[in-house]
Amino acid sequence: MKMRKLFFVALFYSLLITSAEVQAQCAMCTLNAENSVKNGNTQGKGLNNGILYLLAAPYLAIAGVGYVWYKKYRRKNVALHVKDEKINLN
């Protein structure tokens, strides 16, 4: 179990380290951002970062809910001692 957890942590950090720069903008936003950068403005970079932030928020929320759900409802190894008797359901 510990190796499995270590594997997922290593995978997560390797994905963070090897991330590539992405452009998450629609065509209209891209044109406005490029024109503003050409004119000496730095707001285009902030626009791209804001869009990426808004894109990542739902995924992080779903991952958090999934983690809590997994921790709460996973099976636990519990020994049950049940008598071998017939049960009358009347």
> How high is the mean pLDDT of the chain?
78
The residue-averaged pLDDT of 7-21 equals: 78
Residue at token pair 């009358």: 88
Task: Name the pTM for this structure.
Answer: 0.43
Give the start-to-end residue ranges of the domains of the chain: 42-74
pLDDT in tens, 36-80: 777 777 776 677 777 778 888 899 999 999 999 888 887 666 677
Containing H/E element for 77? none
* Token pair listed for 25: 């903008």
Q: What's the rounded Cα separation, in Å, for the pair 45 and 49?
A: 6
